[in-house]
Structure 1
Amino acid sequence: MLDNKDQQLLVALQSQARMSVSELANTINLSDTPTLRRIKKLEQEHVITGYHAAINPKSLNLNVLVYAFVRLSQNSVSAAQQFEQHVEKLAHVLECSVISGSHDYLLKIISQDLESYEQFVKHQLGSLSCIANIESTVVLKQSFSKKQLPL
């Protein structure tokens, strides 16, 4: 269970992961050594799973965000494994979630434009024989995207 200092540390790291240990220690009102110990403990317990740079997709000419609903042709472990292993290798697939309802998966996909997304679906995603159906929803405008978890 996380105590108050751990939660304060996580809030600080979520807003600025490049903060020095001294800055973090000052923020949570501890000295450097106990703060570093807490960080290492949170990493070992897989509460903190990594540190990432937030990159503006448009600066890399990635202008289209699509959510694709995928239905597999059969509801089997082998089809699910085949699908998951395949999409994990696709760089344009940012997220893959197993969902309930009339579809099996929800994919978050980024692409340069609609034409390149169409090529991606036809040649990379749609080439899998275990896929029965793909329904795409194009994001017209992303109002916001939160990276920080509520603590």
Structure 2
Amino acid sequence: MPNLDEIDRTILRTLQTDGKISLQALAGQVNMSTSPCFRRVKRLQDSGIITGYVALLDQKALGLNAQAYLQLSLIDHKEETIQTFDRFVQNEAQVIECASITGSNDYLLKVVAEDAEALEQFIMKRVLRLGIISSSYTNFVLRRTKSSTVLPV
């Protein structure tokens, strides 16, 4: 982990839970004046530790009531196949996370949809019709017991 002191860690923990906190309130949380706090936040941004700020949305409030994890294997590992798959993943809004993994599969995708039927349609008509998937295994999420974007610092 980079050379972070306790003030940096407190700034990071605070911003992870409240990205809209005012600089003045943040400075108060870390017990320093606004200018030095601003410089620390700027340094954390410039170093790439803070990569951006986002609004976290409620899946269900948006009507996205179904979620699944897809484990996929590609037909081969040629550059063209991997590029085709990577382009597909980047352009599909329903894919909210994708990781290249070890083990018997090549990729793990986290996918959201309105309901189970919409998930099935996405898998059958979008993913499998790519023509580059040799096998797939789907786990439908029944209930989420933890969902967090907060990293331990």
Smaller-chain TM-score range?
Answer: over 0.9
Tell me the TM-score normalized by structure 2. Answer: 0.94
Q: Could you say what secondary structure the match of 2:68 adopts? A: strand
**Corresponding position of 1:94:** 96
For 1:43-84, what per-residue CA distance to the aligned partner results, in whole angstroms no more than 9, with x for missing partners? 111101111112111111100110000000002232112101
Letter in 1 for 2:25: E
- Please give the alpha-carbon distance, in whole angstroms, between the structure 2 residues aligned to 1:140 and 1:65: 8
Instruction: Name structure 2 gaps, 5 residues minimum.
Output: none
For 1:14-34, what per-residue CA distance to the aligned partner results, in whole angstroms no more than 9, with x for missing partners? 111111000000101111011
Instruction: Name structure 1 gaps, 5 residues minimum.
Output: none
Q: Could you say what secondary structure the match of 1:46 adopts? A: coil
Aligned length: 151
Q: In the alignment, is the contact (CA less than 8 A) between 1:67 and 1:108 conserved in 2?
A: yes
Q: In the alignment, is the contact (CA less than 8 A) between 1:69 and 1:105 conserved in 2?
A: yes
Match 2:57 to one of 55, 63, 70: 55
For 1:3-42, what aligned pairs fall within 5 Å after superposition?
3-42=5-44
Q: Could you say what secondary structure the match of 1:134 adopts? A: strand
Runs of 4+ in 1 over 4 A off after TM superposition: none
Letter in 2 for 1:62: L
- Please give the alpha-carbon distance, in whole angstroms, between the structure 1 residues aligned to 2:55 and 2:34: 24
Letter in 2 for 1:122: M
Letter in 2 for 1:145: S
Letter in 2 for 1:44: D
* 1:67 and 2:69 aligned: yes
Match 2:108 to one of 99, 106, 110: 106
Letter in 1 for 2:126: Q
Q: Per-residue deviation at 1:3?
A: 1.8
**Corresponding position of 1:122:** 124
Tell me the TM-score normalized by structure 1. Answer: 0.96
- Please give the alpha-carbon distance, in whole angstroms, between the structure 2 residues aligned to 1:51 and 1:134: 34
Q: In the alignment, is the contact (CA less than 8 A) between 1:87 and 1:125 conserved in 2?
A: no
Identity of aligned residues (%): 36
